[in-house]
Amino acid sequence: MPLTPLVYWAQRHEDVYLRVELTDAQNIDVHVNEKVLHFTAQGHGAKGQNEYEFSLEFHSPVKPEVSYKSTQRQVNITVRKEQRGWWERLTAQERKPVFLSPDFDRWLDESDAEMEIREKEEKRNRLKASRHKEEGFVSLTTGFLFMYNLVQFLGFSWIFFNMTVRLFIFGADSLYDTFHTISDVMFFCQILAAVEVLNAAFGVVRTAVFPTLIQVVGRNFILFIIFGSLEEMHNKPVVFFVFYLWSAIEIFRYPFYMLGCFNTEWKTLTWLRYTVWIPLYPLGVLAEAVAVIQSISLFDETKLFSIPLPKAFGTSVSFSYFLHIYLVLMFLGLVINFRHLYKQRKKRFRMKRKSN
C-alpha cells in the first residue's frame, strides 16, 4: 500500500517549488493532468523504504511540463504557473493536506518575491550595460587595429611594388638609389611600428613584448643610425636588399592581421605569413649585418657618435666598438625571434589541425 511522503512548498510569481522528502528515490513519475499533479516513486521516506505517492490539485492552472531533479536526499519539482501571479494558497481546497508544509528554506512572501525579481532585473541590466561597454571597447580596439594594419599594409605594399617595378625598369641601377626613392615611406612605417610594442605591452594584442621590441628597435637602429645618419650609406645596394626583405614579409603579415580583426582567415595567406619568414628572417639579418659591417669604417673615418675621452686616455672611443657588440646582439636577436616565430607557427598550425 503506497504511503504519502512529506512535501514542502514555496512559490514565486511564475513558479511553484515542491520538495519531496525521499532519499534515494527511484522510478520517479511526476506529471500534471489539468490542474492536478501526480507523484509516485520508490525511496526511503518518513516511514522507511517503500512506494510513496501523492496528488495535489493546484489553486490555479499550471503548465503541463514539469521539471524535477532527484538528489540523494530529496526530489525537487518545479511547476510553471499558467499565468503569472501570486496564489493565496497552493491547493484548490482551502484545507491544507496534512503531508504539505511551507518550505522555509525557499519561502518568500509576495513583496519579498517582487523584490527578488527587481534585484534579478537590476543585475541583468547591470550585466547588459557592462557587456555593452565591453563590446564598445572591443569594437574600438578592432577598428584601431584594422586601421593600423591597413596603413602599414599600404605603406609596405607601396615600398615592395615600387622597388620591384624600378628593378624591372632600371635593372641593377635601381639598387643604388633605393634610399632616395623609398626612405621617406620606410621612415614613416617604421616609426609607426613602435605602436606594435605598445600594443603588446598593454595587451591590445596577445603577443610577447620582447620579440616585438627586438624587431622594432633592431630595424629602427639600421634605418635611422646606419642608413639615416651616414650619407655614404645611401647609395649602397645593401639598402635595397634590407628594404626588400623587410617589406616582403610585411605584405603578407599585415593583411593576415587585418583578416584576424574580423576573426576570418584565408588559408593561403596564413600559410604565407607563418612560412615566408623562414628564409627571409636569416637573409634579412644577414643583409643588416652587411650594412653594419660596411658602416664600421665610415663611423671610424667620420668619428660620428664617437665618445670624446680625456687627453690622458687618447682621443675618443669610436662608435664602431659598439657596432661590433651590436653584431653579436643581432645574432642573439635572430635566435630569440627565430624561436619565437617558430613557436607561433607551431601554435597556429597545431590549432588549425585541431579545428579541422
Ligand X SMILES: CCCCCCCCCCCCC[C@@H](O)CC(=O)SCCNC(=O)CCNC(=O)[C@H](O)C(C)(C)COP(=O)(O)OP(=O)(O)OC[C@H]1O[C@@H](n2cnc3c(N)ncnc32)[C@H](O)[C@@H]1OP(=O)(O)O
Q: Which residues bind ligand X (CB under 6 A)?
A: 145, 149, 196, 205-208, 211-215, 217-219, 245-246, 249, 253, 257, 260-261, 277, 280-281, 284-285, 288, 329-330, 333-334, 337, 340-341, 344
Which residues carry out catalysis?
281, 288
Which residue lies nearest ligand X, judged by its C-beta? Answer: 284
Phi, psi of 86 (to 5 degrees): -110, 125
CB of 115 or CB of 201, closer to ligand X: 201
Residue 64 CA to residue 153 CA, distance in Å, equals 61
Q: How far is the CB of 253 from ligand X (least distance, A)?
A: 6
Q: What is the rounded CA–CA span in Å between residue 225 and residue 227?
A: 6
What residue type is assigned to position 155 of the chain?
A: G
Is 275 in contact with 352 (CB distance < 8 Å)? no
Q: How far is the CB of 178 from ligand X (least distance, A)?
A: 16
Closest CA to 34 of 69, 58, 66, 2: 58
Q: What is the C-alpha separation between 235 and 178, in angstroms, rounded?
A: 7
* Identity of the residue, 21 or 288, whose beta carbon is nearer to ligand X in the bound complex: 288
Query: Which residues have C-beta within 8 Å of that of residue 304, sequence separation ≥ 6?
Result: 229, 230, 298, 319
C-beta closer to ligand X: residue 206 or 311:
206
Smallest distance, ligand X to C-beta of residue 317, A: 20
State the Cα–Cα distance between residues 176 and 158, nearest whole angstrom. 18
8 Å CB contact between 195 and 229: no
Collapse the DSSP code of 25 into the 3-class scheme (helix H, G, I; strand E, B; otherwise coil) and give the result.
strand
Smallest gap from residue 355 Cβ to ligand X (A)? 12
Q: In angstroms, how far is CA 261 from the centroid of its own chain? A: 11
**Least CB distance from residue 142 to ligand X, whole Å?**
9
Q: How far is the CB of 191 from ligand X (least distance, A)?
A: 15
Which is nearer to ligand X, 127 or 293 (by Cβ)? 293
Distance CA 85, CA 93 (A): 18
Beta carbon of residue 334, minimum distance to ligand X (angstroms, whole number): 6
Name the strand (E) or helix (H) holding 340: helix 319-355
Q: Look up residue 130 and give its three cell numbers.
A: 557592462
Question: Between residues 261 and 304, which has the closer beta carbon with respect to ligand X?
Answer: 261
Residues 6+ apart with CB under 8 A from 306: 299, 316, 317, 318, 319
Cα 91 versus chain centre, distance? 53
Nearest of 130, 147, 103, 97 to residue 257 by alpha carbon: 147
In angstroms, rounded to a whole number, what is the distance separating the alpha carbons of residues 323 and 17? Answer: 79
Taking Cα atoms as reference points, which of 10, 62, 15, 11 lies closest to residue 38?
A: 62
Element spanning 226, H or E: none
Closest CB to ligand X among residues 215, 320: 215
When the beta carbons of 32 and 175 are compared against ligand X, the nearer one is 175
